[in-house]
């Protein structure tokens, strides 16, 4: 009996060792990070950072997420979304973090020729570029998500809600409309002092880029994460936006966090303080609900 047990134990150990060797021998699936130019304005080349894995490129019809950073249309960099891009790349989604023109000069003065209007134009160009290059990145043209934090949320919304303000060089036959939208502390109403200042002599056009003033039926599903104590984007603006969205029959899911401010992940530098893993897990559930995450 002892010999039989010893034999079985030895066999089990050998099987476990073989399984471990097999796991160790499996090739890694590293994340590839490249940069592409999606638009050239005069001498300015606007880039997008792209993240994907080899496994994603072994199949077709991947979902994509296009991220727009925050910073009040005047500050911020695409790198603020890099950790999030890598997270979703590991989950099999091809991700993009977009550089767009900033509406500030020398870090202080509003730019004379660049305003939030140009930011909107760049966001729409980026979405069209991603859709035009869907085959290159093994993406399903009908599974492209836009995402943004703060002013970046406004840009994500603009790609679905603002029909005007298109770059002359854009191919308007290619849709910039996303198939779903992720919003984090998003600006939904641009009729406020900071945007007015950045628009300068074009402040009369402030309504033209305000998502709250372009409500309509048939918008893509959206999810918004917001703090009750947001000192930059008052919670009531998002609550009003939610009511208006649902009145038009659109899907809008809101998660309000008691006591949190504009940076929902304050104290957690992992995602540029934008949010935490708990919030992203809810975003995952939303993406699965709409068949955008396997």
Residue 294 lies in a domain: no
Residue 8, domain member (yes or no) = no
- Phi/psi of residue 233, each to 5°? -125, 95
- 73 lies in some domain: yes
Q: What is the CATH number of the domain that holds 195?
A: 3.40.50.1820
C-alpha radius of gyration, the chain, whole number: 22
Inter-CA distances, 159 with 113, 128, 175, Å: 21, 9, 9
pLDDT digits (tens, 9 = 90+) for 165-197: 999 999 999 999 999 999 999 999 999 999 999
Whether 28 maps to a domain, the answer reads no
Burial class (CB in 10 A: 0-12, 13-18, 19+), 279: buried
CA dist 232 to 133, 170, 192, 260, Å?
35, 32, 10, 12
pLDDT at site 269? 87
How many Å from the N-terminal Cα to the C-terminal Cα in the chain? 48
Is the residue at 6 inside a domain?
Answer: no
Q: What is the spatial distance between Cα 244 and Cα 238, in angstroms, rounded to a whole number?
A: 10
Domain assignment of residue 1, yes or no: no
Q: Residue 19's Cα: distance from chain center in Å?
A: 38
Whole-number Å distance between alpha carbons of 81 and 146: 13
Judge if pTM exceeds 0.75: yes
What pLDDT sits at residue 15?
Answer: 41
The number of distinct structural domains making up the chain is 1
Task: Say if 155 falls within a structural domain.
Answer: yes
* 284, two tokens: 């995952």
What domain range includes position 82? 34-289
Residues with pLDDT less than 70, the chain? 1-27
pLDDT tens readout for residues 43-96: 999 999 999 999 999 999 999 999 999 999 999 999 999 999 999 999 999 999
What distance in Å separates the CA atoms of residue 94 and residue 136, rounded to the nearest whole number? 11
Instruction: For residue 212, tell me if it sits in a domain.
Output: yes
Q: Can you give the pLDDT at residue 28?
A: 75
């Amino acid at each position: 009996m002892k010999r039989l047990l010893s034999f079985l134990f030895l066999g089990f150990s050998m099987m476990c060792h073989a399984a471990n060797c097999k796991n160790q021998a499996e090739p890694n699936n590293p994340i590839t990070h490249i940069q592409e130019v999606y638009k050239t304005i005069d001498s300015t080349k606007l880039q997008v950072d792209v993240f994907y894995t080899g496994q994603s490129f072994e199949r077709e019809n991947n979902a994509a997420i296009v991220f727009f950073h925050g910073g009040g249309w005047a500050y911020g960099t695409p790198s603020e979304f890099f950790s999030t891009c890598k997270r979703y790349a590991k989950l099999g989604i091809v991700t993009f973090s977009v550089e767009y023109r900033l509406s500030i000069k020398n870090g202080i003065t509003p730019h004379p020729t660049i305003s939030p209007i140009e930011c909107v134009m760049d966001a729409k160009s980026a979405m069209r570029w991603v859709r035009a290059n869907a085959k290159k990145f093994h993406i399903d043209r009908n599974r492209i998500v836009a995402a943004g934090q703060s002013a970046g949320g406004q840009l994500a919304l603009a790609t679905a809600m603002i029909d005007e303000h298109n770059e002359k060089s854009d191919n308007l036959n290619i849709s910039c409309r996303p198939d779903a939208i992720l919003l984090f502390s998003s600006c939904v109403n641009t009729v406020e002092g900071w945007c007015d200042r950045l628009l300068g002599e074009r402040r009369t056009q402030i309504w033209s880029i305000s998502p709250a003033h372009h409500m309509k039926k048939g918008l893509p599903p959206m999810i918004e994460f917001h703090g009750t104590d947001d000192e930059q984007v008052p919670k009531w603006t998002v609550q009003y936006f939610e009511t208006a969205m649902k009145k038009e029959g659109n899907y809008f899911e809101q998660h309000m966090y008691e006591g949190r401010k504009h940076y929902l992940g304050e104290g957690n530098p992992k995602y540029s303080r934008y949010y935490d893993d708990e919030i992203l897990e809810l975003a995952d559930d939303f993406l699965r609900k709409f068949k955008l995450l396997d």
